[in-house]
Amino acid sequence: MAILVAVLLMVVLVGGAAGVNLYIRWARKPLLSAGGPKRITVPPGATVESVARNLDESGLIRDARVFTMSAEGVSIRPGVYDIAPTESVAQIVSRLEKGDVVTVRVTFPEGFTVRQIAKRLAKNELCDEALFYELVTKRGKTIDASFKPPANLEGYLFPATYRFPLGETEGGIAERMLSGFESVFAKRYADDIRRSGRTISELVIVASMIEREARTPGDRPLIAGVIYNRLKRGMRLQIDATVQYARGEHKERLLYRDLEVESPYNTYRVAGLPPGPICCPGADALEAALNPADHDFLFYVAKTDGSHVFGKTLADHNRNIAAVRRSR
């Protein structure tokens, strides 16, 4: 009799274990064979248990306990995820471990200001416009960099195409763009910058004016040379782009009264360099500021095709202006 009881108990235990294994295998399978993804957010510091509940409540897994068991020992990365009910538990765990989060592709053209960058980020629902603008114009020094960034990061957020994780912090975005500036210019040309005798700040200010003034690649080093030549002679730079920046809004055609705007950025009224960059320059403008063309030009005027005519004297400049006007 005792032997019979033992045999029956063993059958029950074996059958129960088999049943549990069958259930676990079933629970790890995709919930549905078809269906669109659902968006879930994993906050920083979230536990496996809380993520499992989130997935369960979102109808993406069959059993939160089985998910928790499957993800034991896994480091889950925070972020926003698009997960489909057609994914198995193993696939979901793998994505959460890799940090396969939703990203947003956004492009910032050369010459964008930090205000334009903030607006584009907000338009793509990547951050709060006001918070980002306040950070990059007042608290830039708090962002990690290989050099000492200024409080105002105008000019230092490198214009390029980025993929930012949805839900990234304002600081994380700014740090990534500042890192772009470091890799493309500050680190790459560190020795050349030291040899130039100019500070990074001076070079970025000059590059920002080149970026806004030049429309053709060949003009960039020429305009850089004009800027440095005028600075050496103590001449005011009289760069229209600085007036546009001082006004706070772009105007297709500046009038003489616009040149009188009171601002430290107005290089028609104030001698020397403006107090800071007027935009975020690209790599070519930064390189032109570092390696200006060697010439005696002091003036330039834009032609209808966007290129410029350069002159050594005011008389040359006036003749060039007259020639450009006749060609219109």
- As a whole number, the mean pLDDT across the chain is 88
Count CA atoms within 13 Å of residue 142 on its CB side: 10
**Phi-psi group of 293: left, alpha or beta (phi > 0 → left; psi -120 to 50 → alpha; rest → beta):** beta
Mean pLDDT is lowest, of 31-35, 149-153, 289-293, for 31-35
Q: What is the mean pLDDT of residues 7-19?
A: 48
Task: Return the pLDDT at 31.
Answer: 67
Is the pLDDT confidence value at 129 over 90?
yes
> What's the one-letter identity of residue 80?
V
Confidence band for 13, pLDDT divided at 50, 70 and 90? very low
- pLDDT tens for 138-153 read 887 777 777 778 889 9
- Among 1-15, 224-238, 303-317, the range of highest mean pLDDT: 224-238
List of domains in the chain = 35-101 (3.30.1490.480), 103-184 (no CATH), 190-327 (no CATH)
Confidence band for 25, pLDDT divided at 50, 70 and 90? confident
Confidence band for 211, pLDDT divided at 50, 70 and 90? very high
What radius of gyration, in Å, describes the C-alpha atoms of the chain?
Answer: 30
pTM for this prediction: 0.84
Geometric angle at alpha carbon 218, from 215 and 219, rounded to 5°: 55
For residue 300, give the nearest of 313, 286, 291, 282 by alpha carbon.
313
Listed in sequence order, the residues at least 6 apart from 99 whose beta carbon sits closer than 8 Å to its beta carbon are 77, 79
Instruction: Report the C-alpha gap between 72 and 61 in whole angstroms.
Output: 16
Tokens of residue 85, six digits: 């009910």
Q: What is the mean pLDDT of residues 293-316?
A: 94
